[in-house]
A and B are shown apart, each in its own frame.
Chain A
Amino acid sequence: MRPRRLRLGAPTVGAALGAAALAPLVDLLTLLVVALLRGQSADPPVVVEPGFALPLSRQERAPGRPALTVDLGQNGLYLDGWRVGAAAAALEGGGGRVEPLYAALLRAPKGPLRLRVDARVPFAALDRLLLTAREAGYAEVELVATKASSL
């Protein structure tokens, strides 16, 4: 039987195993990061109010860079995250523009406008938002939805 040689300064068996175990871990983490980068959206999560849910769409076009964002939930109406009135201002009443939003839009810079409305909001309210945007001088309006393919 051949005697086992001891070498000074040589890495132990445990250390060699540790290095070998790290390589698959790096592979796994790299795969995770790539999968996250492909599956996640660079847009921040849409948090307007509790229970807010965007409509689902089959379209795949990425949203543009808006100058302003108008949010309409079940409770409030927001311009760039700032509450400009109750949702009832758009949800209730007849046709015509939404006055609190119209006054805020007149003071805001002009450019592409992004609309984010709750999926349960009726079209009458959405139509009033579009009318308000048109009368305030916004010609480029985009309705934001969640890609059905991302779910």
Chain B
Amino acid sequence: MSRLFAAEAEGPDARPALFAVVSLMLLLLPALLMTTAGDGLTGLGLAVPPGGAAPPLPHAGPLRALSVEVGPEGWALRAEVRSTDAHSLGAPSALREERGAGLGPLQRALRRLKALDPAQTRLSLRPDPDRPAQAVVALIDAVSADLEGELFPEVVLEAQPSDPPAAPVGEAAP
């Protein structure tokens, strides 16, 4: 028997489900905005030896130790480099010293030293006492990596010795 008014097939009403999703999103958005921060944080690990403990063993590679002293007039880079020549076994390490100004030349000098000993990751950084924390963090960033990759990410922050660094005079011979 045919019906007088044929009903067209219709799907279920999607509006209640959509309203539920919209309500959930409207709750999620303010919750996210209130519980999170727009500024992402990063952590700069500082190598701090425990008080009273023995200092770490010297690095076994050619680049024994590396320190950067930064003053108001520039930086002074000191590297203790051991010769890889078999005839010089047991000989004392040579001290290389380089001076300059600006982060770019410092990164280039560090890159040259990194090429000598890619396994060395530790560097002592001695900023001047009046340098603000922002500038110290910029220094840590600069010595940790450059555009080519990692440099010396294990940074030990140290106070400068009492005598201030001399003015930059370019590259000094060891």
Contacts and interface: CB of A to CB of B under 8 A. Distances in A.
A124 B127 CA distance: 9
B84 interface: no
Given A22-B15, A26-B25, A36 B132 contact: no
Main SS at interface, chain B = mixed
Nearest to B142: A58
Contacts of B137: 55-57, 119, 143, 145
Interface residues of B, number: 52
Contacts of B39: 41, 45-46, 54, 146-147, 150-151
A81 to B, nearest CB: 16
A37 B32 CA distance: 8
Contact of B15 (A15, A41, A144): A15
Contacts of A141: 45-46, 48
Interface of B: 5, 7-8, 10, 13-15, 18-19, 21-22, 25-26, 28-29, 32-33, 35-46, 48-51, 53, 127-134, 136-138, 140-141, 144-145, 157-159
Interface of A: 7-8, 10-11, 15, 18-19, 22-23, 25-26, 29-30, 32-33, 36-37, 39-46, 54-64, 95, 114-115, 117-124, 126-127, 130-131, 133-147, 149-151
